[in-house]
Structure 1
Amino acid sequence: MIGTKLRSVAFNTLFYANLFAQLLFWSPVFFLVPEAVAWRIVKNWARSSLWLLQVIVGARSHVAGTERIPHGAAIIAAKHQSFWDVLALLPVIDRPTFILKKELMRVPIFGWFARRMRMIPVDRKKRGGAIASMLEGAHRAIADGRQIVIFPEGTRTRPGAEADYRPGVFRLYEALGVPAVPVAVNAGLYWPSGTYLRQPGVVRAEVLEPIPPGLDRAAFLDRLRRTIEAHCLGLLRRAYDERPELPMNEAVRAKLRVRQAAED
């Protein structure tokens, strides 16, 4: 446990040092270079962060099913358990447009970079206005052939927590008429929110079969939720098969017990 704590402190220190160093280093030219160069800078930062996680903590990152990501316009609907989800998706999606909370756009330098890459800020305090603003930005991104990344629950959730999929993801799906690609993760076990600890192992994300456009709200949200949650549970079980000593909360324990009983 002491080794995990020390490695976690070292990783967090170097992770933020790397972030701030790259923001400062690239800021003089980032807003002048072509978009393709800007994307290489951003993706290389994500890769360097995942490399630090592997080398210092011993947590290797693996994203399966990337061949299912459409080359053109699409919605990427991903489970959100930690910041790892962002780092892992950035390198494997061609030109992702993340839907993020408005407050992040106000962070000095980071917010400027996000605006340069045309991310879509959402003010969660303005419900109706937030949807309208999100759709406006999404239409522009789709017209440009980009992929929109949205976390359907609107915030990070702990592994095993009851899923609450917000209506924004359906509004995007309905308005844009493009496939929605579910993504399952188990990152909350290795990079949990609310603590500095980082756990060794294999952090996994799985890109699942796209949901074609045209479903109604109930059918779409039910299919999206069932698909993501079932595969997340599968990834959680795989993680404990690989490393039984990983911390386990009661919600995960109960869900794994129910799944095991159903299979028996």
Structure 2
Amino acid sequence: MTFVRACIFNLYFFVLTLVMGILAMPIRVCMPSRALAYAQAWTGLTIKGLTRICGIRVVVSGREHLPQGPCLLACQHQSAFDTLVWMNLVERPTYVMKSELTRIPLVGPMLLLTGMIPVERTGGAKALRALLAATDRARDDGRQIIIFPEGTRMPPGEIGRLHPGIAAMAAHSGLPVIPVATDSGLRWGRNAFLKRPGTIHIVLGPPLTCTTRRALILPAIATAWEELSRENGLPLLTPSPVDNSVGKQTESLTES
């Protein structure tokens, strides 16, 4: 049954994306200001299809830690689900994402119109300056910025090397950093065809208190993830390596 449900969902997701991608073309030309709302409709229908077809329930806790206005959400990344769900969990989401995604037909142009932040992961200092400028624009526009500090999807219970792009963004912008733990990989694994029924938990922690000191931000994120996992019954994490090297500040910031 799980296999059959996965087949139905993947067909649903493909058709939905194709149809809404085609219908997005007049939005891009005539109503670009509606691009974000249109994208949120697509992700909302995707998540609704996932829950109804695959029997997956989404439980979010810690919403009280979200500040009014802009912030940085430092999210664990275990599944493609993570790249979808935040579109409908906050009012004005902005993802930090690899720039290659903007070149996907139909989808890519909409990503730019919705205000996503593409990053050239090997662009060095120039890419870092562009990232910080985009962070300023998102902050001034009242956006909630979602970033995956591990830079790639990791299995539940494992933590990847944390990259310092978010530390630079936090120290530069002064935005609060909200750590977010999840167990989404238990239901929708990395590159997994099957979507297993059950509950996906998303847990937001209180804002970090050390965001003005760049060197302390990554260890604080790793510690917060570990505490959130332990307190909420999520898979416990192995010790986290962190990467504070200036030369790698824009490498592997996110992967979808």
TM-score (norm 2): 0.85
Matched-pair contact (CA < 8 Å) for 1:50–1:61: no
Q: What is the CA–CA distance in structure 2 between the aligned matches of 1:64 and 1:39, rounded to whole Å?
A: 25
**Residue in 1 that maps onto 2:16:** 18
**Residue in 1 that maps onto 2:245:** none
Partner letter of residue 48 of structure 2? W
Structure number with larger C-alpha Rg? 1
Matched, 1:229 2:226: yes
Q: What is the CA–CA distance in structure 2 between the aligned matches of 1:182 and 1:232, rounded to whole Å?
A: 11
- Aligned with 2:27 (options 26, 29, 46): 29
Partner letter of residue 30 of structure 2? L
SS at match of 2:58: strand
SS at match of 1:173: helix
**Residue in 2 that maps onto 1:191:** 188
For residue 133 of structure 1, report the CA deviation from its aligned partner: 1.6
Q: Note closer, same or farther for the CA distance 1:215–1:138 as it changes in structure 2 (3 Å cut).
A: closer
Taking only aligned residues, the RMSD between alpha carbons, in angstroms, comes to 2.0
Q: Note closer, same or farther for the CA distance 1:226–1:253 as it changes in structure 2 (3 Å cut).
A: closer
- Aligned with 2:5 (options 7, 20, 25): 7
**Residue in 2 that maps onto 1:262:** none
Equivalent residue pairs, number: 238
- Aligned with 2:64 (options 47, 62, 67): 67
Partner letter of residue 136 of structure 2? H
- Structure holding more helix per residue: 1
Q: What is the CA–CA distance in structure 1 between the aligned matches of 2:7 and 2:229, rounded to whole Å?
A: 27
Q: What is the CA–CA distance in structure 2 between the aligned matches of 1:88 and 1:78, rounded to whole Å?
A: 12
TM-score (norm 1): 0.83
Q: Note closer, same or farther for the CA distance 1:253–1:68 as it changes in structure 2 (3 Å cut).
A: closer
| Seq. identity, % | 31
Higher relative contact order (CA 8 A, sep 6+): 2
**Residue in 2 that maps onto 1:258:** none
**Residue in 1 that maps onto 2:91:** 94
Matched-pair contact (CA < 8 Å) for 1:31–1:116: no
**Structure 2: any 5+ residue segments left out of the alignment?**
239-256
Matched, 1:127 2:95: no
**Residue in 2 that maps onto 1:207:** 204
SS at match of 1:63: strand
Matched-pair contact (CA < 8 Å) for 1:66–1:92: no
**Residue in 2 that maps onto 1:167:** 164
